[in-house]
Amino acid sequence: MLSDHDRQNKQMKQKYNPDVLNPSPGQTVTMKHVAKEAGVSLGTVSRVVNKHPSVKPHLREQVERAIAKTGWQPNAVAQSMRTSSTKVIGCVLPDTSNPLFGSIAKGAEAMVRKNGYAFLLANSSYDTEHEIELLTFMFQRRVDGLLFAPSDETNPRMIQAIESARMPTVLMEREFPASCDRVVSNQADGLRQAAEHLISLGHRRIALITLQPNILPGRERRRGFEEALTSAGIPIDPILLRPDNLSAGYAYQQMQELMSLEDPPTAIIMGGNMMLAGAIRALNLTNKRVPEDVSIIAVGDTDLAELGSPPITTVRWDLEGLGAEAASILLERIKAKSDPKTAGVKHIVRPTEIVLRKSCAPVKIKSS
């Protein structure tokens, strides 16, 4: 029974409607108002809005005038309710203030928006429990799909959560044993290039500070690194491997430890984009010069790497493109209503490249 409501409406219209630009505050305009204003039925309004071909031109025009006059805007919530499609893509990332994730998010958001979807973003702060909450949060909001980079692929609760999350999802820079689309960059190859470059400069004691193996880039970076060394016939010294964390603080501390070894590395690869800052702090402290005393390569390109002194050789890849491609694949899945479990999983691997700068030098002959 909308009678009171309607009556009030009518009054308002009589009183204020001339001033359409200023729909009185608090009064929400619905399709019904438009229909009344245009002298047609709800269905007709809906049809012109959704560009259904079979509407007589003069009615269409009447409706359009009514829309303009009332200032009506479709209510996306009601549309979602009716169509059971929200046209929103959720995105759960560890930390968008890390420029790496920030850029991925930006690329994804742009693609998502371009296709008329909304972009619901949430940071998990590298916390699996929080991520699980966010997954149900996204599900309750009935996002049409999910872009996701979990913080720990091996956590059984995480695996369980993603299995039972009934939303199309594509992983970014991550993988799950379960069939799930993903787009990742080729970190193994990047690290291989980095290590080979150092090896070609004569280095044999090369250290790697990198992230833990519970996420794909952690494993792949180490794998590429070890493969390069092995191919060159260089034995892998476990003491030079520091694969535990992606923070600047960790790099700072490991850097100091490495440099105070009896037989320190002559080159170090920082396998994480936040690590360079920590490394530089440690180097400044110990008065080691780059590249005279130690050669450095950073994974993940930044202003600091490009413009610091010396400029740092890095491994880089297209972050925004990665986010955009992940979004594309998700959007396709949604459009085609195809399920990876039946239609085949998509695994995209995107290239990485090495950017040579001035932080690497030929190894010095040891005076022994």
Partner DNA sequence: CTGTTAGCGCATTCAG
Partner DNA sequence: CTGAATGCGCTAACAG
Can you give the binding site for a copy of itself, defined by CB under 8 A?
2, 21, 23, 25, 28, 71, 73-78, 80-81, 83-84, 86, 88, 95-97, 99, 102-103, 105-106, 109-110, 113, 118-123, 136-137, 139-142, 164, 166, 276-277, 280-281, 284, 302-304, 306-309, 320
CB of 21 or CB of 336, closer to a copy of itself: 21
Contact track, DNA, 263-292, x by CB under 7 A = ------------------------------
Token readout for 364 is 């010095």
| Angle at 179 (CA atoms; ends 176, 180), nearest 5 degrees | 70
CB of 69 or CB of 182, closer to DNA: 69
User: How near is the Cβ of 93 to a copy of itself at its closest, in Å?
Assistant: 10
CB of 27 or CB of 160, closer to DNA: 27
Interface segment toward DNA; rule CB under 7 A; list 18-26, 52-60, 160-168, 219-227? 52-60
Residue 26: phi, psi to the nearest 5?
Answer: 90, -25
Residue 54 lies near DNA (rule: CB under 7 A): yes
CB of 14 or CB of 97, closer to DNA: 14
- Do 300 and 316 touch, CB atoms closer than 8 A? yes
Within residues 162-221, the interface with DNA by CB under 7 A covers: none
User: How near is the Cβ of 303 to a copy of itself at its closest, in Å?
Assistant: 5
Q: Measuring CA to CA, how many Å separate 173 from each of 34, 64, 292, 298?
A: 48, 46, 34, 18
Q: Measuring CA to CA, how many Å separate 196 from each of 59, 96, 154, 165, 364?
A: 71, 32, 30, 42, 17
Q: Which does 14 bind (CB under 5 to 8 A by kind): DNA, a copy of itself, none?
A: none
Residue 14 lies near DNA (rule: CB under 7 A): no
| Angle at 232 (CA atoms; ends 228, 237), nearest 5 degrees | 75
User: How near is the Cβ of 367 to a copy of itself at its closest, in Å?
Assistant: 29
User: How near is the Cβ of 143 to a copy of itself at its closest, in Å?
Assistant: 10
DSSP symbol at 235? P
Sheet holding 353-355: strands in order across? 241-243, 206-210, 267-271, 295-299, 313-316, 353-355
Q: Which does 103 bind (CB under 5 to 8 A by kind): DNA, a copy of itself, none?
A: a copy of itself
In the chain, the amino acid numbered 171 is L
Pick from 186, 174, 172, 183: nearest CA to 352: 186
Within residues 76-105, the interface with DNA by CB under 7 A covers: 78-79, 81-84
| Angle at 62 (CA atoms; ends 56, 65), nearest 5 degrees | 140
**Cα gap 195→228, rounded to integer Å:** 6
**Cα gap 185→325, rounded to integer Å:** 11
User: How near is the Cβ of 311 to a copy of itself at its closest, in Å?
Assistant: 9
Residue 337 lies near DNA (rule: CB under 7 A): no
- What is the contact surface with DNA in residues (CB under 7 A)? 1-3, 5-6, 28, 30-32, 40-47, 49-50, 53-56, 59, 72, 74-75, 78-79, 81-84
